[in-house]
Chains A and B, each alone.
Chain A
Amino acid sequence: MTAVLQIVFDALSLGSLYALGALGIAAVFGVMRLVNFAHGDFIAFCVFAMLLPSVDATAIVFAGQLPFYLLIPLLLLVGAGLSMLSEVIVFRRFRNANPATMMIASFALGFVIRHLLLLLYSSRPKSITLWPSLGLPVEFLGAHIPMLQVVTIIITLVVLAVLVLFLKHTRYGLEMRAAAENFTMARMLGVRANGVILLAFAISGMLAAAIGLILATNSGTADIGMGANVMLIAFIATVIGGLGSVPGAVAAGFLIGAASVVFQATLPHDARVFRDAFVYGAVIVVLLVRPQGLFAPKSAKQRV
């Protein structure tokens, strides 16, 4: 029983990370059909923003020493700022471009950010100590669960709740939903395109910062490539969740996290190194069964 409970918590916490990532991708995709491959590098950037640039092995913590009630808003601001800046400088110029062109542009932007970090900080991972008390285990129905897992799950649920409230009950949320449903029509009806898109980027950037914080707390390190893995899984989750569907993206994020944990827990030892092959294989199977995604929005029907 405790073992099962432990697995459930493992799956939930990993799934939470993926779900937050998928949300960040889906927010932008919804309004401008852009798969933002720079999202992973946004995550890394937010983490490195806590350090002073230095190629020395020992990190010089800059913002990381702030109390949490200052650090968290600051980092969310950094994420939102970077994300909005990228929209203003880069993506705004791709409004009418082919999605493949946009995708490659976002990849190139991520490439630039990554190599900039590399130049400023070198590739050696830097240590960051954030809230060591979160590393302590708590006991829950006989299972020992690291505090951070619980916090991660709670944060994800809170973020989801806030986002749902925002989308359902505010004017901006309504505009965003309208834009995601049918962008041209929304514009005709007076939704300001640039405003909505900028808002989507801000939300996406804040989600990147949140993931960065969780990853940094969990691993205790800042590493150039730390966002890449989450970004990839989040991208896949967005698609199998049904592109444009926010609840779908979240559900698929949790599903992939759960699949990964369950494969790790149940595969025989020699097959465990092939875990990712099983996960990707499962993704292909899901796509074959539901090509429009698990929770495709009605608008996703192809039109002639």
Chain B
Amino acid sequence: MSRPPSVIRQTIVTPIILIVVLLAMAALSYQFGSRAFNRTAIEMFINIMVVVGLYAFVGNSGLLSFGHISFMCLGAYMTAWLTIPPVMKSITLKGLPAWLLHTQLPMWVATPISGVFAALFALIVGRIIMRLSGIAASIATFGLLGVVNNVYSNWDSVTGGQGSIVGIPPTMNVWIGWLGAAVAIVTAYLYSISRSGLALRAARDEEVAARASGVDIVRERLVAFVVSAFIIGLAGAFYAHFLSIVNPGSFYLRTTFITLSMLVVGGMYSLSGAVAGVVAISVLIELFRDLEKGVSVGGLTVGLPNGAQEIAIGIITIVILIYLPSGLTRNREFSWRNWPLQRRRLVPPVQTALKETN
């Protein structure tokens, strides 16, 4: 934050708008929604955390990452290790070190630890992977996902292997979900206006110029990688409390691609885009789920066949991308000035995620 207060004053509105709108959604869901609907809302908030975390890295660095869901895995399992009653752990997770085996922490302590754990891991692997750029970096993050998934799926004595581990207190509700999303948004916002965030975006758009101006790209990327890992680690912890069981299958390709789709649909270079993408897709999914259940028309229930929802979502995603290739927000941020979207030093979406190779 080298250039406060002007940067803050110009941009602070974005996170405030996002957080307030989400608060309104939480309140509406709490007031009018059934229990099942509230779970949909919580799931949406957790997805917002993940996608905002992804944005913190992808949006600022321009590198597409396939590996961030492994941080969700790390966070979720760390929370499981910290919050499951020791009696249960001593049966199923015998390989845990003694100090961990006998610990049981409340959610408020375990969750930040999970985030920090994911961030530390990112710091270590990031030092290696962040040396790469372009698609090589994307594939390396993909390799990371493969390694983490394979290890967590088979290290039976510590992770319970392929199977689910159970016993995580189900303490999530829609307010905590909202709080998590707010923390993620604020963290990502603070990073993107920090010195490192600005430098990284400069490098994203004009690599050579940024390098010439003394930007250490590898270092700034690493910072973004760690920040985003922290956010997604938190999301993993919340997810564990949300389902109260974790298994490695939840943190693999499906989740990776769905969250990436949400980010790209919203607009991968803006924080508002990250949030808008999740909200839009979540609402659409819910809408089609209701259509699948059937709508009563004059005593007759008409419904889509089961499974039509996924097909519809896929087609809608393609259509959105055809007409809005840079996402619903066109990579802009919500703001008061020029309500509702302000061009904030908008750059044309450069092809940095997969560096043009010719």
A–B touch (CB < 8 A): the answer is yes
A108 contacts B317, CB within 8 Å? yes
B146 contacts A291, CB within 8 Å? no
Given A99-B354, A105-B318, do A277 and B132 touch, yes or no (CB 8 Å)? no
B349 contacts A93, CB within 8 Å? no
On chain B, the residues within 8 Å of A291 by CB distance are 132-133, 136
A276 contacts B146, CB within 8 Å? yes
A98 contacts B351, CB within 8 Å? yes
Using C-beta atoms within 8 Å of the partner chain, give the interface range for chain B. 35 or more
Chain B CB within 8 A of A161 CB: no
In whole angstroms, how far apart are the Cα atoms of A281 and B146 in the complex?
9
On chain A, the residues within 8 Å of B321 by CB distance are 94, 97, 101, 104-105, 108
In whole angstroms, how far apart are the Cα atoms of A228 and B260 in the complex?
18
B264 contacts A112, CB within 8 Å? no
Using C-beta atoms within 8 Å of the partner chain, give the interface range for chain A. 35 or more
B307 contacts A94, CB within 8 Å? no
A111 contacts B314, CB within 8 Å? yes
Q: Which among B143, B150, B318, B350 is the interface contact of A108 at CB below 8 angstroms?
A: B318
Chain A CB within 8 A of B268 CB: yes
Chain A CB within 8 A of B97 CB: no
Q: Which among B140, B325, B357 is the interface contact of A94 at CB below 8 angstroms?
A: B325
Question: Which of A119, A287, A292 has the most chain B CB atoms inside 10 A of its CB?
Answer: A287
A112 contacts B314, CB within 8 Å? yes
The chain A residue with its CB closest to the CB of B208 is A304
On chain A, the residues within 8 Å of B356 by CB distance are 33, 99
Shortest C-beta distance, A92 to chain B (Å), equals 10
Chain B CB within 8 A of A57 CB: no
Shortest C-beta distance, A42 to chain B (Å), equals 15
On chain B, the residues within 8 Å of A154 by CB distance are none
B307 contacts A115, CB within 8 Å? yes
The chain A residue with its CB closest to the CB of B129 is A284
Chain B CB within 8 A of A21 CB: no
On chain B, the residues within 8 Å of A115 by CB distance are 307, 310-311, 314
In whole angstroms, how far apart are the Cα atoms of A99 and B134 in the complex?
11
Q: Provide the B286-328 mask, 1 if CB < 8 A to any CB of A, else 0.
A: 0000000000000000000101101101110110011001100
The chain A residue with its CB closest to the CB of B324 is A101
In whole angstroms, how far apart are the Cα atoms of A275 and B153 in the complex?
12
B133 contacts A109, CB within 8 Å? no
B264 contacts A99, CB within 8 Å? no
B140 contacts A274, CB within 8 Å? no
In whole angstroms, how far apart are the Cα atoms of A96 and B143 in the complex?
29
On chain B, the residues within 8 Å of A273 by CB distance are 154
Chain B CB within 8 A of A300 CB: yes
B146 contacts A280, CB within 8 Å? yes
On chain A, the residues within 8 Å of B128 by CB distance are 284, 288
Q: Provide the A264-304 mask, 1 if CB < 8 A to any CB of B, else 0.
A: 00000000011111011101100110011100000110101
On chain A, the residues within 8 Å of B144 by CB distance are 280, 284
A283 contacts B358, CB within 8 Å? no
Shortest C-beta distance, A253 to chain B (Å), equals 14
On chain A, the residues within 8 Å of B64 by CB distance are 100, 103
A244 contacts B351, CB within 8 Å? no
Chain B CB within 8 A of A172 CB: no
Shortest C-beta distance, A263 to chain B (Å), equals 12
Shortest C-beta distance, A33 to chain B (Å), equals 7
Chain A CB within 8 A of B147 CB: yes
Chain A CB within 8 A of B336 CB: no
Q: Provide the B243-266 mask, 1 if CB < 8 A to any CB of A, else 0.
A: 000000000010001001100110
Chain B CB within 8 A of A35 CB: yes
Chain B CB within 8 A of A61 CB: no
Q: Which of A4-12, A133-141, A198-206, A235-243 is near enough to bind chain B? A: A235-243
The chain A residue with its CB closest to the CB of B133 is A291
Q: Provide the A170-197 mask, 1 if CB < 8 A to any CB of B, else 0.
A: 0000000000011100000000000000
A-B contact pairs, 28 of them (CB 8 A): A33-B354, A35-B135, A94-B325, A97-B321, A97-B325, A98-B325, A98-B353, A100-B264, A100-B268, A100-B353, A101-B321, A101-B326, A105-B318, A109-B318, A118-B307, A119-B311, A244-B357, A275-B150, A276-B146, A280-B147, A283-B143, A284-B129, A284-B144, A284-B147, A292-B136, A299-B357, A300-B358, A302-B357
